[in-house]
Amino acid sequence: MTLKRFLNVITFFMIMSEKGEKSRFEEWYNKYYKLVFIIPIALLVLSIVYLASFYAKTGDIFNKDVTLTGGTTITVHTDQKIDVQDITAKLSKKIEEPSIRILTDIRTGKQVSFSVETKTESPAVKAALEEYLGYSLTEENSSIEFTGSNLSKSFYSELMMAMVLAFLLMAVVIFVIFRSPMPCFYVILCAATDIIVPMAIVNLVGIKISTAGIAAFLMLIGYSVDTDILLTTRVLKRRDDPLFKRITGAMKTGLTMSLTSLFAVFVAYFIAIPPVLKQVFIILTIGLCIDIIATWLGNASLLKWYCDKKNIV
Amino acid sequence: MVSIKLTTRIIIVLICLFLAVLAINPAQSLEKGILIKNVKSNSTASSYGLSAGDLIKELNGASINSVEDYSKIMSGLDVQPIEFVVVTDSGKFSYESKTLDFEVNDNASIVSVFGNASSAGLKENYTILKINNDPVTKKEDFEEIKKRIEPKIKITLKTNKEEYAMLLSEPLDITISEIPSSNLKLGLDLQGGTRGLIKPEKKLDASEMSLLLAVSRERLNVYGLSDVSIREVTDLSGNNYMLVEVAGATPAELEELIGKQGKFEAKIGNETVFIGGKKDIASVCREDATCARIERCLPSGDGFFCEFSFAVYLSQEAAEKQASATADLEENISEQGTRYLSKPLDLFLDDKLVDSLQISADLKGEATTQVAISGPGTGLTQEEAYENAQKNMAKLQTVLITGSLPFKLEIAKLDSISPLIGKNVMPSIYLAAAAAFLVVALIIVLRYKQLSLVFPVILTMLSELILTLGVAALIRWNLDLASIAGIVAAIGTGVDDQIVIIDESRVSSEYSWRERVKRSFFIIVGAFSTVVASLIPLWWAGAGLLKGFALTTMIGIVIGVTITRPAFADLIRNFIKK
C-alpha cells in the first residue's frame, strides 16, 4: 500500500531528524531532493491523465450523485433488514438505476435506515418503493429529497465556478503574503495537486460526489494551504537556523498539523451516520494524505531548489 | 503543578464564553412542561387567552412533561354523544350525537344538515320548533341552545402564566412541542420538515421578488401553517429562488400552495366574471360552519366522496360583471323542475376546471354579491374523504383570499425530511466530535510527550466550539449538516494554529515571547486569509444551500484568530518548559 510505505518514509524522516544522525540524512536529502519531487509530480500528472480520459469517456470530470444530476433520494427509517441485491433488482424494473445505501449506527451495529437514489422523479420512486416494502411511506417514516435536473445542473456549474473562484482568490492571497512569484507558484501548484489527485482517487474508488462533496474540496483548498504557508514562511522569512533545519522543523510542525486533522476526520468518517458528513470526511481524509505528499515531497523540494539557486542558506 | 497567569486575552475569552453560554441558554432544558408553538387565530384557545410561547405545566391536575403526556390526556377526553330531540314543522326527530349537526338561518329553517342529524331524517328547509324541549324561533335561540346543550369537555390548564378552566366542544387548536433544550436551532435536514426551492419562470427584480415572498407568506399563513420560513436566495450567476421551509407541512401541501401559481378564475362561457384576490373578492367565509362546511359524504366507487361548500362575497364590480354575463342567457328547466341558466359558472384553478355550478334562473341579470363555491374531497374511508375535502376547501379559500401568485413558478427542489432523522443521527455526530477531540489529544501527547499540553489545546477547541454555537444561537442560525461540517473545519484549523503556536514558541526560544507569538501569528493570519478567500464564493453558490458551511467556518475561524488563539498563546506560555 502506498499509504503505508509513505508513512514509513515519514517516520524515517522524523526518526532521522530526531536521532542526531542529522548529517547522514541531510546528505541524503541534499543529494536526492529533486528525485523525491518526482513522487508528487508523477501523482499529479497521472491524475490529470486519468481525469482527462474520464472526461473524454463520460463528459464529466467526476461521478455526480443525484444532488448534482437531478433525481430523488428516499431514505426509509427502518431497522428491518433490506436485501440490497433483491431490492436493486426489483426496483430497477421501475426506476432508473437505483442505488441502495444502508446507514448503520456504529455504536449498535444496527441499520438505522436505508436509502434509494435514482434519477427518476419522486412520485414514481415512492410508488415503486411502497410496492416493494408493502407499506406506505409517510412524512414520519421516511425522508424524500427531490432535486430537479435544471437546478442540479445549475448547482453543478455554480459549485465548479465557486471552486475556480476560491482557487483564484486563494492564489491572490498567497501572492499578497509572500510577494515572490516562484515560491507563490509552488504553493499554488501544491494546492492544485491537493484538489486534482484526491478527485482522481475519489473517482477511482467510485464515490459519487454530492454538493457537499464539492464543498469538501473547497475545504481542502483552505486546509492544504496552511502547511505550505508554514513551510514557506519558515524557509524564506526566518534565517536563524540553517536551511535544512528550517525545512525539517517546519515539517515536524506541519506533519503534526496534518496528522491531527487527518486522524480526526478519519475517525469521524467511521462514526458519523449522515452520508453528507461521511462524504465530506472521506474526501478530507484522502486530501490530507495527498497534502502531506504534495507539501513535504513537492513544495519542500521546490523551495530547497529555489533556495539553492538563490543562495539562501 | 502549573500556575496560570490570567492575562487580558484569557479574561476576554472567559467573558465571551460566559456570553455565549447565555446566548445558547442550555438552562431552558431544566424547565418543565411543553411549549405552545402556535395558537390558531379565532379559535377557542385564543379566545381564552392562550398565546404562542406559553408553557403548559399542568392539564387537569396532572403535570405535563412531554408532548406524549399532553396527547395522552387530551385523547382520553373524548365527549360522549347525548340524545337530541328536535321538533320541526315536518315532525319530531331524535338521534344520538356529539353535536347537533345542522345549521339554521334567521328564521330557524335548516340551511344545511349533516352527520347524525342527516341520518335521522332532518332535511334542509325544515323549520325548527324545539330542541330538547327548548323553543326555537330564531337563529340566536338556536345558537344559545347549541352552546348550552352540546356535550363539552371540561379542562383545567395551567401555564407558566395563568390557570384556565375551559369548556371545549372540540380539541384545543394549538400546536405544541417539547421545550427546546437551548436556543440552538437545528436545520431542516436534522429536525425534519418540508423544504421547497422555488424558481420563478423569469428572473425577478428586487421588488418583484419581495412581492412574491409577501404573497407566498400570506398564503401559508392564511392556510394555517406555522413555523414557516420564506426567504430569497440568489446564486453566483444571479438567479433568484424562493426558499420555503415549513416544519409541519406535507410536500403535497407545499407544492399546491406555493409551487403552483394558484390562478383562480370564475367564468361564464368565455367571459371571466371574477378572479381570486382582493380586487374581486370582498371576503371569503372560513371557519364558520354556517357558511363554510362539508355538505355531505357519500360512498363512491372504492371509497368515499365528500363535498365542501363555502360562501364567497364578491365586490360590487365583480357582481355587476356577473349580472351582465348572465343577462342574455336562456333559461332551462331540469328534470326536477328547477329553473337554471343555459351556461354554468365554471371555476378554473390554474386553467383546470375544478367545478361547474348551475346558476339559478332567479339570478339572471342580478348583481348578486354572494356566491357559494363547492368542491370535492375523496378518500378510501369517510374520515379520509372528509379530511381531504377540508384540506381542499382550505386550499381554495387560501387561493381566493390571496389571489394568484404574481409569477409562474417551478419547483426546483422539494424535500421532506422525517422528524425521526435527528434522533438517529445526532448521537452519531456527538460521538464523532468526542472521538475527534480524543484523537487530537492523543496526537498532541505523542508528539510533545507532555500530558499537560493537552488541556490548553482541548480547552481552546471547546471554547471555539461554544463561541461558534453562541454566535449561531445569537443570529438564530439553523444548524444544518453543512453548518456542522463548517464547525468541524473551523475547529480543525484551530488545532493547526495551536500547533503552530506551540512549535514557534519552542523553536525560536532565543526570541522574546512577544516576538514568538508575532511570528506564529504571521502564519496563522496567512492561513486564515486563504481559508476566508476560498470560502467567499460558497456564500452564493448552489442557491445558498451550502451557505451554512461557509458561515460557520468563517464565524469559527474569525473567533479563533481574534479571540481564542491569542488567548491560547498566553495560556500555553504557562505550559512550555523553559
Whole-angstrom distance, CA of residue B66 vs CA of residue B176: 10
Contact B204, B242 (CB under 8 A): no
Question: Which residue from B199, B432, B496 is facing A272, i.e. has the nearest CB?
Answer: B432
DSSP letters for B129-168:
EEETTEE--SHHHHHHHHHHHS--EEEEEEESS-EEEEEE
| Partner A, chain B 536-565, Cβ-Cβ below 8 Å | 536-538, 540-543, 545-546, 549, 553
A188 CB-near residues (< 8 Å, 6+ apart): A170, A171, A174
Least confident of B139-143, B226-230, B264-268, B518-522: B226-230
Q: Cα distance from B251 to chain A (closest Cα, Å)? A: 9
Mutation site, A18, A104, A113, A139, interface B, largest B CB count within 10 A: A139
Nearest to B111 by CA among B243, B280, B272, B288: B288
pLDDT in tens, B454-496: 888 889 989 999 999 999 888 888 888 888 888 888 888 888 8
Whether the pLDDT of residue A64 is over 90: the answer is no
Q: Which of residues 246-285 of A touch B (CB under 8 A)?
A: 249, 252-253, 256-257, 259-261, 263-265, 267-268, 271-274, 276-277, 280
Which pLDDT belongs to residue B18?
Answer: 92
Q: pLDDT tens, B67-111?
A: 788 878 877 776 777 888 888 888 888 888 877 888 788 888 887
- pLDDT tens for A115-164 read 888 888 888 888 888 888 888 888 778 888 888 888 888 888 888 888 88
Q: Which three cell numbers stand for residue A258?
A: 496534518
The pLDDT of residue B470 is: 92
Does residue A2 carry a pLDDT above 60? no
SS3 B241: strand
The topology under which CATH files domain B32-78+153-178 is: Pdz3 Domain (2.30.42)
Report the range out of A30-34, B19-23, B156-160, B479-483 with the highest average pLDDT.
B19-23
The Cα A62–Cα A79 span in angstroms is 33
pLDDT-wise least confident of A15-24, A187-196, B520-529: A15-24
pLDDT of residue A312: 79
Burial B527-564 (b: 16+ CB within 10 A, else e): bbbbbbbbbebbbbbbbbbbbbbbbbbbbbbbbbbebb
Cell digits for B364? 339572471
Provide, as residue numbers in chain A, all residues whose Cβ is less than 8 Å from the Cβ of B503. Answer: 249, 252-253, 256
In three-state secondary structure terms, A144 is strand
CA distance A294 to chain B (A): 17
The β-bridge partners of B194 are: B246, B416
User: Mean pLDDT across the stretch A84-97?
Assistant: 83
Asked if A169 has any chain B CB less than 8 Å from its own CB, the reply is: yes
Interacting residues of B556 by C-beta distance below 8 A, sequence separation 6+: B464, B468, B486, B487, B489, B490, B491, B493, B494
B466 against B55, higher pLDDT: B466
Q: Identify the CA nearest to A75 among candidates B44, B421, B532.
A: B421
- Is the pLDDT reported for residue B124 higher than 60? yes
Q: pLDDT digits over B325-363, tens only? A: 888 788 877 777 777 788 888 888 888 887 787 777 777
Q: Where are the domains of chain B?
A: 8-24+421-573, 32-78+153-178, 82-143, 193-260, 267-386
A107 contacts on B by Cβ (under 8 Å) = 427-428, 431
CB < 8 Å to B430, chain A: none
Cα–Cα distance for residue pair A205/A201, rounded to 1 Å: 6
Beta B409-417 vs B292-300: how paired, if at all? Answer: unpaired
> Do residues B422 and B186 lie in contact, with contact meaning Cβ atoms separated by under 8 Å?
yes
For A188-213, the three-class secondary structure string (H helix, E strand, C coil) is HHHHHHHHHHHHHHHHHHCCCECHHH
Q: Does A154 touch chain B (CB under 8 A)?
A: yes
Query: Which residue of B198, B254, B509, B530 is the best one to mutate when testing the A interface, meaning the one whose CB has the most A CBs within 10 A?
Result: B530
**How large a percentage of chain B has pLDDT more than 70?**
95
Q: How far A38 CA lies from chain B's nearest CA (Å)?
A: 27
Q: For the residues A12-36, what does the mean pLDDT come to?
A: 70
What is the chain B residue with the closest CA to A278? B485
What percentage of chain A reaches a pLDDT higher than 90? 19
Q: Which of residues 163-202 of B touch A (CB under 8 A)?
A: 189, 192, 194, 197, 199
Q: How many helices (H) and strands (E) does chain A have?
A: 12, 4
pLDDT of residue B479: 85
Cα distances from A100 to residues A116, A157, A206, in angstroms, run 5, 26, 14
pLDDT of A198 strictly over 90? yes
Mean pLDDT of B4-28: 85
- Tell me the residue type at B298: L
Tell me whether residues B431 and A271 touch, CB distance under 8 A.
yes
Say what the pLDDT of residue B159 is: 84
The mean per-residue pLDDT over the stretch B244-264 comes to 78
B419 DSSP 8-state letter = T
- Tell me which residue in A154, A216, A226 faces B493 most closely, judged by beta carbons: A226
Q: For the segment B18-49, what is each residue's pLDDT rounded down to a tens digit?
A: 998 888 887 776 778 888 877 766 677 777 87
**Fold of the CATH domain B193-260:** Alpha-Beta Plaits (3.30.70)
Residue ranges covered by each domain of chain A: 2-64+151-310, 71-147
Residues 149-168 of B with CB under 8 A from A: none
**CATH code for the part of the protein at B8-24+421-573:** 1.20.1640.10
- pLDDT, residue A20, reads 54
Q: Is residue B420 within 8 Å of residue A141, measured between CB atoms?
A: yes
| Average pLDDT estimate for B227-239 | 78
The distance between the two most distant Cα atoms of chain B, rounded to a whole number of Å, is 110
pLDDT value of residue B410: 81
Share of chain B above pLDDT 90, in %: 3
The band of A12, judged by pLDDT with boundaries at 50, 70 and 90, is: low
Interface test with B, best of A14, A219, A235 (most B CBs within 10 A): A219
Count Cα neighbours of B280 within 13 Å in the Cβ-side half-sphere.
22
Instruction: Tell the CATH topology of A71-147.
Output: Alpha-Beta Plaits (3.30.70)
Question: Which of the four pLDDT bands, split at 50, 70 and 90, describes residue B422?
Answer: confident
What is the per-residue pLDDT for A234? 86
Give yes or no for residue A22 having a pLDDT over 60.
no
Distance from CA of B277 to the nearest CA of A (A): 30
pLDDT value of position A56: 92
Q: Rounded distance, CA B91 to CA B87, Å?
A: 6
Please say whether the dihedral angle defined by the alpha carbons of residues A134, A139, A145 and A148, taken in this order, is positive or negative: positive
Fold of A2-64+151-310: Multidrug efflux transporter AcrB transmembrane fold (1.20.1640)
Q: State the pLDDT at residue A13.
A: 60
Q: Is B413 on the interface with A (CB under 8 A)?
A: yes
pLDDT, mean of residues B192-206:
83
Residue B54 and residue B159 in contact, taking contact as beta carbons nearer than 8 Å: yes
pLDDT of residue A187: 92
Asked if the model's pLDDT at residue A19 lies above 70, the reply is no
Residue A263 CA to residue B235 CA, distance in Å, equals 34
Report how far residue B382's alpha carbon sits from residue B362's, in angstroms, rounded to the nearest whole number: 35
How confident is residue A18, by pLDDT bands cut at 50, 70 and 90?
Answer: low
- Does residue B317 surpass a pLDDT of 60? yes
CB B243 within 8 A of CB B216: no
Q: What is the mean pLDDT of residues B237-248?
A: 80
- How does residue A50 score in pLDDT terms, banded at 50, 70 and 90? very high
Backbone φ and ψ for B195, nearest 5 degrees, come out as: -130, 135
Say which of A165, A252, A264 has its CB closest to residue B537. A165
Q: How far apart are CA B542 and CA A165, in angstroms?
A: 14
Mean model confidence pLDDT for chain B: 81
User: Is residue B264 over pLDDT 80?
Assistant: yes
**Cα–Cα distance measured from residue B68 to residue B56, given in angstroms and rounded to the nearest whole number:** 13
Residue B507 has pLDDT above 80, yes or no: no
Mean pLDDT along residues B302-323: 83
Look at residue B30 in the predicted model and tell me its pLDDT: 74
- Among A144, A148, A177, the residue with its CB nearest the CB of B416 is A144
B250, B481, B553: residue with CB nearest A274:
B481
Predicted local confidence at residue A48, as pLDDT:
95
pLDDT of residue A192: 92
B-chain residue closest to A158, CA distance: B541
Predicted confidence at residue B543, as pLDDT, reads 66
Please name which of A173, A220, A206 lies closest in space to residue A63, comparing C-alpha atoms. A206
Q: Round to whole Å and give the CA distance between B552 and B5.
A: 31
Q: Using 50, 70 and 90 to split pLDDT, how confident is the model at A44?
A: very high
In this complex, do B503 and A105 lie within 8 Å of one another by their Cβ atoms? no
Chain A CA closest to residue B239: A154
Query: Cβ of B424 under 8 Å from any chain A Cβ?
Result: yes
Of B410, B421, B534, the CB nearest to A166: B534
